[in-house]
């Protein structure tokens, strides 16, 4: 066994257009001892295109633990391994993250070779704000977990990026519309490929469109975040539906003392603490 461990290289591969393969990634795939690929049948076409003859082994969702331990053992023996996914950057919404964690725990160096990434590509051409964004990948298939994520997105103020397969697109658009309301949306399809399209639309319009039109290709949805002003307006409308006493008592039930609860209620309502105190007195008088 050699004293020097190998390195795990996360090599990004094209998400469509083969010209997006970097010179560095091609060189590294030629130089490493082994390539771990999500689907060797798919990756062999890429390797043949770039005249790469490095041995391959499969590493995917269904063998990620057992094969992960085997790959770490090879790395500890001094072998250099490149990890590639079917398309894009390994570790983004795929089992590569598990292998990276195993390597970190074992003290194996890991480095990433930048390249194609569908979520960033879609975001930059969406026309929606890019300063703050979050990536949700595919929504969970489990019904309860999916509902929780959708509920969280109701108050997400950042631009949100989701992936979706064509056979689930209709359902996802309907759920997003029903739970989040109408939001601006960019639907990116077949990114970097010949028939790439970017449709600037809304959730309502998109849900209606795909009721009539059969989705084809791979989709990335870039969704407008919830505006803070709309949330503040919604909160104010909720406060108007409750009495001042109910408002104060709600905070007291959360553990605040009366003074702090009155201060917070005043802030919520955009009035002074004195106004809250007076209103409580008036309510007491009305009860008398």
Q: Which superfamily, per CATH, for 8-116?
A: Tetrapyrrole methylase, N-terminal domain (3.40.1010.10)
Question: Which segments in the chain show pLDDT lower than 70?
Answer: 1-3, 231-232, 234-237, 239-240, 283-288
Pairwise CA distance, residues 282 & 124, whole Å: 55
Tell which phi-psi region holds residue 137, choosing left (phi > 0), alpha (psi between -120 and 50) or beta: left
Residue with the two structure tokens 């009155």:
262
* Torsion of the alpha carbons at 54, 58, 64 and 69, rounded to the nearest 10: -50
For residue 1, what pLDDT is reported? 41
Question: Could you tell me the residue ranges of all domains in the chain?
Answer: 8-116, 119-226, 229-280
What does the block give as tokens for 133? 């964004």
Distance of CA 147 to the CA centre of its chain: 15
Among 1, 13, 6, 79, CA closest to 46: 13
- List the CATH code of the domain at 119-226: 3.30.950.10
The pLDDT of residue 46: 96
pLDDT at position 279 is 76
Nearest Cα neighbor of 140 from 131, 130, 132, 150 is 150
Strand partners, 198: 188
C-alpha distances out from residue 197 to 189, 217, 218, Å: 5, 10, 11
């Amino acid at each position: 066994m050699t004293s020097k461990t190998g390195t795990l290289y996360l090599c990004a591969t094209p998400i469509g257009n083969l010209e997006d393969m970097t010179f560095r990634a091609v060189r590294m795939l030629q130089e490493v001892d082994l390539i771990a690929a999500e689907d060797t049948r798919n990756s062999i076409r890429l390797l043949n295109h770039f005249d790469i003859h490095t041995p391959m082994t499969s590493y995917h969702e269904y063998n990620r633990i057992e094969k992960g331990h085997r790959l770490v053992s090879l790395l500890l023996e001094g072998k250099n391994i490149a990890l590639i996914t079917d398309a894009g950057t390994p570790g983004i919404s795929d089992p590569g993250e598990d292998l990276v964690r195993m390597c970190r725990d074992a003290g194996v160096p890991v480095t990433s070779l930048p390249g194609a990434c569908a979520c960033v590509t879609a975001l930059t051409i969406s026309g929606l704000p890019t300063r703050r964004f979050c990536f949700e990948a595919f929504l969970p298939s489990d019904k309860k977990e999916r509902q929780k994520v959708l509920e969280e997105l109701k108050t997400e103020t950042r631009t949100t990026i989701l992936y979706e397969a064509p056979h689930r697109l209709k359902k996802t658009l309907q759920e997003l519309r029903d739970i989040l309301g109408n939001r601006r949306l960019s639907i990116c399809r077949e990114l970097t490929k010949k028939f790439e399209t970017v449709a600037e639309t809304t959730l309502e319009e998109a849900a209606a469109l795909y009721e009539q039109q059969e989705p084809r290709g791979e989709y990335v949805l870039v969704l407008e975040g919830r505006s803070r002003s709309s949330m503040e307006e919604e909160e104010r409308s909720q406060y108007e539906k409750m009495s001042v006493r109910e408002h104060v008592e709600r905070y007291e039930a959360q553990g605040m003392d009366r003074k702090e609860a009155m201060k917070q209620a005043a802030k919520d309502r955009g009035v002074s603490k004195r106004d809250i105190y007076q209103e409580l007195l008036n309510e007491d008088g009305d009860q008398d």
